[in-house]
């Protein structure tokens, strides 16, 4: 393992030195050290049933009951998550002047808490909720407090944590009271791009503009199975930008890569930063 980390960090240092302005895309693997479960295994397959679909959430009150009841139990894993070594290393890489943009598919805001400033939350942020009718917004912890007051029996439940604040909870959700928008009575939804939804154009355009300024692309902790992230790799490949990935497992972009590093994320990134700081 030590040799693997050393070889990977040496290769990544060389890649960064050749291409100093990196466009970095991150995924769930960056936050697993922070206690947030990921979705996929090393082969890129689902570890559990896929997350809720946007159309199902919007079209079914029972789906929303199930979603919010499970979130009331499981969101603690997301809200209590602490910045990990990979987040800190990427923030240091930015401080060293090597990061043009971090585009994260995560919704946990841990990059910002680690000190990264050039961040696009491609899939939104889980700590906010938005009314889908009038665009009224509130902090998610305040919404959870309201739902806890309405549903005290659910507060006492316990279940295993699942990705993005979900919980492995199965019970009778039909009695769960969902708290709707206090302004218009509309549907509250996390300010997150659910599966089947689309990334808002301003976010996508900001990420694309940064990609057009970059020297190379680096994927960290993501399989790139979701098209919203993979599309940028296709665009970068069409522009003949060098593409690298640091990930424990396959990525959808493997055939396009000029450098693939299958090694533990945090040790490799920390070693890379240390080496770059000394040069």
**Predicted local confidence at residue 96, as pLDDT:** 97
Q: pLDDT value at position 179?
A: 96
**pLDDT of res. 35:** 87
In 10 A of CB 248, how many CB atoms?
A: 15
87 is in an annotated binding site: no
pLDDT at 36: 85
Q: Annotated binding residue at 161?
A: no
Question: So what CATH class is 2-277?
Answer: alpha beta
pLDDT tens-digit profile of 219-253?
A: 999 999 999 999 999 999 999 999 999 999 999 99
The pLDDT, as a whole number, for residue 48 is 67
User: So where are the chain's domains?
Assistant: 2-277
C-alpha to C-alpha distances, 130 to 136, 187, 191, nearest whole angstrom: 6, 8, 6
In order along its 279 residues, the chain shows pLDDT tens digits of 446 999 999 999 999 999 999 999 999 999 999 988 777 767 777 666 778 999 999 999 999 999 999 999 888 878 889 999 999 999 999 999 999 999 999 999 999 999 999 999 999 999 999 999 999 999 999 999 999 999 999 988 888 876 777 788 899 999 999 999 999 999 999 999 999 999 999 999 999 999 999 999 999 999 999 999 999 999 999 999 999 999 999 999 999 999 999 999 999 999 999 999 997
Please give the pLDDT value at position 49: 72
* pTM metric for this prediction: 0.93
Q: What amino acid positions are annotated as catalytic residues? A: 123
pLDDT computed for residue 178 by the predictor: 97
Q: Return the pLDDT at 1.
A: 43
175 is in an annotated binding site: no
Ligand-binding annotation for 249, yes or no, is: no
């Amino acid at each position: 393992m030590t040799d693997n980390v050393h070889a990977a960090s040496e290769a990544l240092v060389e890649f960064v030195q050749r291409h100093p302005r990196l466009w970095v895309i991150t995924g769930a693997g960056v936050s697993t050290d922070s206690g947030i479960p990921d979705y996929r295994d090393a082969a890129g397959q689902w570890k559990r049933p896929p997350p809720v679909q946007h159309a199902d959430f919007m079209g079914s009150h029972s789906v929303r009951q199930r979603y919010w009841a499970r979130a009331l139990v499981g969101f603690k894993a997301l809200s209590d998550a602490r910045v990990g070594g990979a987040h800190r290393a990427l923030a240091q890489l930015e401080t060293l002047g090597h990061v043009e943009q971090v585009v994260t598919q995560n919704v946990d805001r841990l990059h910002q808490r680690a000190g990264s400033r050039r961040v696009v939350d491609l899939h939104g942020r889980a700590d906010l909720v938005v009314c889908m009718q009038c665009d009224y917004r509130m902090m998610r912890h305040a919404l959870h407090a309201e739902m806890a007051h309405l549903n005290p029996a659910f507060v006492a439940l316990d279940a295993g944590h699942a990705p993005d604040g979900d919980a492995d909870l199965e019970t009778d959700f039909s009695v769960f009271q969902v708290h709707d928008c206090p302004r218009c009575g509309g549907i509250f939804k996390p300010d997150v791009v659910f599966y089947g939804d689309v990334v808002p154009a301003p976010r996508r355009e900001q990420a694309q503009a940064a990609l057009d300024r970059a020297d190379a692309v680096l994927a960290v902790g993501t399989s790139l199975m979701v098209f919203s992230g993979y599309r940028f790799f296709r665009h970068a490949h069409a522009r003949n930008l060098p593409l690298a990935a640091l990930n424990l497992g396959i990525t959808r972009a493997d055939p396009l890569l000029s450098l693939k590093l299958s090694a533990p994320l945090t040790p490799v990134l920390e070693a890379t930063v240390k080496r770059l700081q000394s040069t």
